[in-house]
């Protein structure tokens, strides 16, 4: 005896998403403007990966008193020093701004820190990133993200039709952009982990969009006399249960990382969570409804209502 699949959304759901597309477009416009304004005024809080500096990961024999250690290292007059618990109470991550001078000056700062902290610490990682390398990494990361989104759109264009590719590019780029805005608004540490989060988000977002597009194409083939507006509404309603359940389960999997993943994983987790929420809504309102403003699909000459 087989169990019937459980649907979060009833099969006979008839939500007119197309009629409500202006609410979605308005939300998209607000988020985009907020992102652009925040980037213009605040910029991004670049981590050491991109702006250069010294990064030390150390382990103590007992729980680290962050406040005391911050005061101790602050007396070295090395400029901005940031400390955070790294996973366990005994682990600490120390970030120090880049020192004036060449590589010798950076190594001297590392030596001063180690002498001040003492021999009881186990130094697991010591990295010195120069500003030139950091700038190159930032540019490479930005280009990698853009070309990843573009490659996804080209694939969708070949897999379906070019109109779908343009809609997918618009929706995915929107999801990535507003997630960058999240980093800017809340001044979250933007580093290589953030780039990984953006690439992960782009993959997740297009996966959801392709499911909706596939149902739209299938419905177009079966109902050639149906208006594009009704085809989009029917397709989105039919995939709505899958869309919401997939997003919900993914967010549930991310909750442990958000709650107990530590500072290092928090920025990654919160960006992915935010991106899933934005990506779910953009797949419904942005990507699908955007097809209404594209030239008629090649196989069926449908006119929007």
Quote the domain boundaries for residue 75: 53-129
Q: How many domains does the chain have?
A: 2
Whether residue 16 is contained in a domain is answered as: no
40 and 68 co-located in one domain = no
Same domain assignment for residues 163 and 254: yes
Count of positions (residues) in the chain:
305
Residue 144 sits in the same domain as residue 266? yes
pLDDT, the chain, mean: 79
pLDDT band at residue 264, thresholds of 50, 70 and 90? low
Q: Is residue 302 part of a domain?
A: no
What CATH number does residue 284 fall under? 1.20.1640.10
Same domain, 83 and 37: no
Q: Residue 10: its pLDDT value, please?
A: 62
125 and 140 housed in the same domain: no
Tell which of 110, 129, 148 closes a domain. 129
d(CA 42, CA 38): 5
Q: Given this model, what pLDDT does residue 5 score?
A: 52
Q: Is the pLDDT of residue 184 over 60?
A: yes
d(CA 201, CA 141): 14
Q: How far apart are CA 18 and CA 290, in angstroms?
A: 10
* Residue 10 included in any domain: no
* Claim to verify: residue 114 and residue 177 sit in the same structural domain: no
Q: What pLDDT sits at residue 301?
A: 45
Please tell me whether residues 154 and 196 are part of one structural domain: yes
Q: What is the CA radius of gyration of the chain?
A: 24
Residue bearing tokens 């449908």: 302
The Cα angle at residue 283 between residues 277 and 287, in degrees rounded to 5: 140
Is 78 inside a domain boundary? yes
Please say which residue of 129, 159, 177 terminates a domain.
129
pLDDT grade for 126, boundaries at 50, 70 and 90: confident
Residues 201-239: tens digit of each pLDDT: 888 888 888 888 888 888 877 777 777 788 888 888 888
Same domain? For 181 and 267 the reply is yes
Are residues 143 and 278 located together in one domain of the fold? yes
* pLDDT of 298 higher than 60: no
User: Is residue 196 domain-resident?
Assistant: yes
Q: Is the pTM of this model over 0.85?
A: no
Domain boundary among 129, 151, 184: 129
**What is 80-132 written as a DSSP string?**
-EEEEEESEEEEEEEEEEPPSSSHHHHHHHHHHHHHHH-TTSEEEEEEEE-HH
Residue 298 in any domain: the answer is no
Q: Mark whether 183 and 41 lie in a shared domain.
A: yes
3-state secondary structure of 32: helix
């Amino acid at each position: 005896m087989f169990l019937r699949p459980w649907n979060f959304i009833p099969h006979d759901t008839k939500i007119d998403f197309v009629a409500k597309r202006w609410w979605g477009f308005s939300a998209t416009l607000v988020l985009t403007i907020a992102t652009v304004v925040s980037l213009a005024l605040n910029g991004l809080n670049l981590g050491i990966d991109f702006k250069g500096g010294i990064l030390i990961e150390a382990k103590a024999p007992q729980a680290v008193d962050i406040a005391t250690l911050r005061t101790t290292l602050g007396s070295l007059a090395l400029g901005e020093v940031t400390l955070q618990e790294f996973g366990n109470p005994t682990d600490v991550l120390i970030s120090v701004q880049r020192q004036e001078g060449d590589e010798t000056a950076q190594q001297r700062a590392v030596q001063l820190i180690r002498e001040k902290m003492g021999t009881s610490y186990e130094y697991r990682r010591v990295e010195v990133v120069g500003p030139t390398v950091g700038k190159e990494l930032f540019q490479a990361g930005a280009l990698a993200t853009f070309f990843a989104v573009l490659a996804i759109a080209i694939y969708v264009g070949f897999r379906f039709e070019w109109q779908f590719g343009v809609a997918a590019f618009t929706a995915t780029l929107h999801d990535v952009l507003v997630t960058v805005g999240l980093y800017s608004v809340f001044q979250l540490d933007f580093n290589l982990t953030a780039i990984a989060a953006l690439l992960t988000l782009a993959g997740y977002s297009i996966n959801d969009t392709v499911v909706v597009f596939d149902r739209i194409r299938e419905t177009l083939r079966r109902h050639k006399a149906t208006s594009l507006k009704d085809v989009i509404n029917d397709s989105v309603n039919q995939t709505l249960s899958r869309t919401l359940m997939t997003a919900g389960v993914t967010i549930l999997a991310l909750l442990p990382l958000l709650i107990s993943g530590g500072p290092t994983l928090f920025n990654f987790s919160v960006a992915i969570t935010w991106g899933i929420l934005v990506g779910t809504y953009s797949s419904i309102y942005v990507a699908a409804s955007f097809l209404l403003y594209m030239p008629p699909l090649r196989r069926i000459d449908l006119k929007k209502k």
